[in-house]
Amino acid sequence: MTVVGLICAALLAAAGALAVVRMERGPSMLDRTIALDVLTTVLVGFVAVQTAVSRRTDTVPLLVALALVGFVGSVTIARFASKEPPGQGRVRTREEIARDEAQRLGLDESDAAAPVRERTEEDV
């Protein structure tokens, strides 16, 4: 049974790693939701295999909890899915984040300056 447990663990670990790869690549939030579903199922599989190999019964409630959590998570994310412009769902690199952040800060400064100018015009 130990050998079976090891084979199952290896297969499940590979499945989990592949799901994480899809979660990183995206390209949309829904693809990540699906990867999350697979990951939750893999976790259920791990707990089940561990239960079967060691014949412990105290891990069985974990199966119920994991099944519930996976369902709620994917339905909630799907409910709030929105249209994303192509390329936006990608995980940005460090340089892109720095550039966008600089741009955003620049915009914020001009936004902050705008109402002041309006008020002076009203005063005059």
Residue with tokens 């990540």: 32
82/93 with CB nearer other proteins: 82
Residue with tokens 């799901």: 19
**What's the closest the beta carbon of residue 90 comes to other proteins, in angstroms?**
14
**What's the closest the beta carbon of residue 87 comes to other proteins, in angstroms?**
14
18/90 with CB nearer other proteins: 18
**What's the closest the beta carbon of residue 77 comes to other proteins, in angstroms?**
8
Q: Which of 13, 26, 24, 7 is nearest to 85 (CA)?
A: 26
Calculate Rg over the CA atoms of the chain.
Answer: 24
**What's the closest the beta carbon of residue 91 comes to other proteins, in angstroms?**
16
The site for other proteins (CB under 8 A) is made up of 1, 4-5, 7-9, 11-12, 14-19, 21-22, 25, 28, 30-31, 33-35, 37-38, 41-42, 44-45, 48-49, 51-52, 55, 57, 60-61, 63-64, 67-68, 70-71, 74-75, 78-79, 81-84
SS (H, E, C) 43-59: HHHHHHHHHHHHCCCCC
